[in-house]
Amino acid sequence: MKKIISKPHIFFFILIPVLLLFGYLNKESTIDINIYNSFFVIHQKSICYISAVFFGLIGLNYFSLIWAKRPPKKWLTRIHIILQSISLILLFTRNSWNWIGENEYPLELNLAPDYSNLILIISFFFFLMATLIHLANFFISLMSKSK
């Protein structure tokens, strides 16, 4: 973890081929978002490809800070990487969280509760918080006078 905190750009550059490979292997998987009576279907490969570009930009941000000899704040970097990792884990395991809560359906129907939309919302908020922390880390490190 110490190596990741000292060189976070390497972590994000490593995530790029992992996400590209994951998107290529899961071409047919979709993310179904149900909002009232509307269904939004997003291919998981699209999310992976967009995330790979996004993580490339984050890696370039961290690399530019190191190149400018303005290292990022370690505690903000740690929080950013943890929140970003939790967000990715929740996104890719959204259908595995159906054991949470009680089953409101009768046992005779043999239906499992579906919490995938809730997990997607939580994942999005973790992603949003990680992005805001990254931006704060970038600008605080850029503006700080200490090396």
User: Whose CA is closest to 86, among 116, 130, 54?
Assistant: 130
Indicate if the pLDDT at residue 13 is higher than 90. Answer: yes
pLDDT band of 99, cuts 50, 70, 90: low
* pLDDT for 100 beyond 70: no
The predicted structure's pLDDT at residue 114: 66
User: How much is the pLDDT for 4?
Assistant: 75
Backbone angles phi, psi at 41, to 5 degrees: -115, 120
The pLDDT score that the predictor gives to residue 85 is 92
Which residue, among 136, 138, 133, has the nearest Cα to 81 in the 3D structure?
133
**Furthest C-alpha separation in the chain:** 66
Rounded mean pLDDT, 93-111: 60
The pTM for the full model equals 0.80
Reported as a pLDDT band with limits 50, 70 and 90, residue 107 is: low
